[in-house]
Structure formats: C-alpha cells, structure tokens
Amino acid sequence: MALTLYADGVENPASRQRIAEAADLLGASYAVPCGGRLIAVENTPQASDVYGRPPLRGTATLAVGHERRGLPRATLAAAEETIVIPTASRTVTTLNVAAAAAVAGWYVLRGSGPQARAAHPGRRWPAVLLSGDDHVEVGSSLRSAAAFGLQEVLLDDRGAGWFDGPHARRREARAAARRHKNPLHVRPAQLGVTAGFGEVVVITPWGPGRPVSRERFARGRRLVVVIGLAPEQVQASPGARIRTATLGLRPTSCAPLRLVASIALAEIARQTGRPAGRGPAPAPRWPAYKREVKLAADGELLILDPAVLLDYLVRILASRRPDLRLVQPMTT
C-alpha cells in the first residue's frame, strides 16, 4: 500500500512544511498526486466519516485544501471518495490543515471501528494534559482539542508563552487556537498534576507501548491522558496505574505537537463518541435556479455569467447524484 499527501491550494509555507512532516511520520509521500484512488478531505454533505473504514489497500492520494476555501471543485469532482473528520464543537468545526492531513492519513492507512454513540459523551472524556514549548504548536493543538469536544485542557506551558509570554507570541498562539471562537478552558499545570489521578496514559508518537486503538480512553476524569511528554517525565501517585500508548508513527527527527496531539485526540473522540441519536447531517436543499437569479421582465435583456449557471448545475448534480464523477470543463 502507498499513500501520498497532496496539498491542493495550501498557500502558507509553514502549513505545507507541517503536511510534509505529517507524510514523513505516516510513512507516506508528499508530492503531486501519485495515481490510484483520489480521496478528498472535505466537509461536504456526501462525505463519509474518517472513522469506521477498512485499512488502505493499494495506492491512494489524500488531498487537503486551502483552510478557508477548501478543495477546488475540480478536485472534489475527480475524487473517488470524500471523507470528513467529525467534530463536536459548535464554533470550532475544523482542524488546522496539517493536523487534518495527519488525522485523515492515520485513519486511512490503519482503518478503525466506527465512532461510539453515548448519551453523554462529555462525561466519558478523560482529563488531558498537553505539554509543549512552541506557541503555534500549542495553539493548533488547543484548536483540535476544542473541535473534538473537550471543554478543558491542562497545559504545561514550557516556555511557549500561552499564559504570560510576549504579546506578539501570545497573539500568534491564540490565532492558531482560533481563540476568538474557541471556548476551551485552558488551565495552567505542571508535571506533578498527574500525581492526583488514579490512572495515567502517556501517548507517544512511536516506540514501545500499547496501540492507542486498543487503549480504553472513555473512562471519565479518573484517567488523565498525557500528550507531549516522554513516559519517564510523568509522575504518578503510589499505587496509580501508569501506561504507555503509542500511535505507531514512523520515528523521525520531528514530531510536531499539533500532529501527534490531533491524532491522539481524534482517537479519544472516536472512543468517547458522539451523542446517541445524532445521525448524519441532512443534505442541503438547494433553491430553485429562478430563486437564485432575478428574472428579467419581457423585453429586457438578462446577462448571465456562465460560471454562475455552471456552479448551480454542479451543486444540483452533486446533491442528487453523489455517485457521479463531475469534471469541470476547461475554459479559455
């Protein structure tokens, strides 16, 4: 099996660098599409959950797009499959594009069971301790935590400046966290905070340990999950259970916190679940074309941009026939 991560329209050089690092961690390639199946990562009505799919067989390209505009319509039309990373927040509904590439690539390669259903998923979440020294990595990780449904995170801020750093650094960190709409409660914490819990699970990017997919995370706040520290750095109270869980990533010289934390939080969210009874989002009800464009009166000339009509037709066909592969025509 072979996977390539494809950044289609991603403009930020730092984001492209992180996507390349995600590919390295996954043992994937980072380049132009490599052939095989094209899988789009996008929040569309026809997208299927990244959870509950079999492991990749064969060759595939995983495409992620611009953070605001998403993937181009031509890429979505050419994709054989579109997947979405489920989120639980009402305000933070997307991940950083590199984090999304890491999460989607991890599940596409390994597969997983479906996301659990529970009456009160929030009560099943463990406590989470993040530890990081880079302000943007910390901010992006906090964005993922909020998106997946966490209400509180313990943060061991090792010089990242989230709480009391220079103003410019704090501004960048909060921008990465989407703090203007991120309701997450971030509590300052030190390493010794883990000694107050009866169970501790340290998640590492690679190395020995139980695979995270086999670890039981939906145990409520009796358990604290530690991300960003090595097992030997974590303290536990006498008699407490401390375990190591691994993501099974390829050992590299760089494992950015946002990538490791986002994959780990995605797996915790899969196990803690979403509210029982919440089905897939309903397909949009596209308005009739005559409601989109004001009709001209008799004798008047209506000038219509063909791109508007084409966009309408593509949306109608995509909503009514998701099995069709739509390819945008070339224009001159």
Helix (H) or strand (E) holding 48: strand 48-49
pLDDT per residue of the chain (332 residues) written in tens, 0 to 9: 799 999 999 999 999 999 999 999 999 999 877 778 999 999 998 899 999 999 999 999 999 999 889 999 999 999 999 999 999 999 999 999 999 999 999 999 999 999 999 999 999 999 999 999 999 999 999 999 999 999 999 999 998 999 998 999 999 999 999 999 999 999 999 888 999 999 999 999 999 999 999 999 999 999 999 999 999 999 888 888 899 999 999 999 999 999 999 999 999 999 999 998 655 544 444 444 444 445 555 555 555 556 656 666 666 555 555 555 555 554 44
| pTM score above 0.85 | no
How far apart are the C-alpha atoms of 190 and 318, rounded to whole Å? 50
DSSP code at position 66: B
* pLDDT for res 299: 53
Structural fold of domain 2-110: Alpha/beta knot (3.40.1280)
Q: Helix (H, G, I), strand (E, B), or coil: what is residue 44?
A: coil
Helix or strand or coil: residue 30? strand
SS (H, E, C) 79-142: CCEEEECCCCCCCCCCCCHHHHHHHHHHHHHHCCCCCCEECCHHHHCCEEEEEECCHHHHHHHH
- What's the fold here for domain 117-275? Alpha/beta knot (3.40.1280)
Task: Locate the domains of the chain by residue range.
Answer: 2-110, 117-275, 284-332
Cβ atoms of 223 and 194 within 8 Å: the answer is no
CB 272 within 8 Å of CB 116: yes
| CB-count burial class (<10 Å; 0-12, 13-18, 19+) for 297 | exposed
Residue 252, pLDDT score: 97
